A and B are shown apart, each in its own frame.
Chain A
Amino acid sequence: QQQVKQSPQSLIVQKGGISIINCAYENTAFDYFPWYQQFPGKGPALLIAIRPDVSEKKEGRFTISFNKSAKQFSLHIMDSQPGDSATYFCAASMRGATNKLIFGTGTLLAVQP
């Protein structure tokens, strides 16, 4: 119940295209869903996050779509650029004393010029 399933494992997109990464969860107590971007040899950096009271959040080229009934959420990267090539992790946590993050398995995105 604590798992967050992420797909696809890897993704190749042409420059200017849309990259879509999907995540699903089981635990309905989760109430915070961030996406992190990680470059090789670096720590993850927070991209965008959403809470279940909204169905969509957009920040620049990055959009999270959230489907509470299906317990799924996705990251859309519009106008994908070679500089977006990185590993993306979804995560989930629940309110509480520690707010532990449960990470998805990651998606390696390659944007071809």
Chain B
Amino acid sequence: GAVVSQHPSWVICKSGTSVKIECRSLDFQATTMFWYRQFPKQSLMLMATSNEGSKATYEQGVEKDKFLINHASLTLSTLTVTSAHPEDSSFYICSARPGGDGPQHFGDGTRLSIL
């Protein structure tokens, strides 16, 4: 149980394009979803927290107009990297948490490469 699916797993695109990443909880309803960014050999850095039906809460230093988050349903959250540039290349990982005090369950990440 508690499976989180992330799509796509890998994307390469040209500088200036926008990229959308989907995060789905397959077998539970996620009241809260989280988006992380991880650089090679580094830890996970929380970018934002989203609750279904409300605006995301961004961590300090994360540009909300650059990283658009939508949590339209209890099983789907999306992260759109707008006008992506090479410095946005990274491993993006989502997690989802059921209601109450349930643990976070992570997706398998999306490797984003901007040329």
Contacts and interface: CB of A to CB of B under 8 A. Distances in A.
Contacts of A43: 4, 6, 93, 95, 106-109
Contacts of B97: 99
A36 B104 CA distance: 10
Contacts of A34: 103
Contacts of B108: 41-43
A44 B106 contact: yes
Interface residues of B, number: 24
Given A41-B111, A43-B106, A43-B107, A104 B43 contact: yes
A95 B101 contact: yes
Chain B interface SS verdict (over half): strand
A98 B32 contact: yes
- A interface: dominant SS: loop
Contacts of A100: 34, 46, 49
Contacts of A95: 101
Contact of A103 (B6, B32, B43, B49): B43
A34 B106 CA distance: 13
Contacts of A42: 108-109
Contacts of B111: 41
Contacts of A105: 42-43
A45 interface: yes
Nearest to B97: A99
A41 B109 contact: yes
A103 B101 contact: no
Interface in B40-66: 41-44, 46, 49, 51, 57
A44 B44 contact: yes
A41 B108 CA distance: 7
A109 to B, nearest CB: 14
A5 B65 CA distance: 32
A106 B57 CA distance: 25
A46 interface: yes
Given A43-B108, A99-B97, A99-B101, A89 B57 contact: no
B85 interface: no
A6 to B, nearest CB: 8
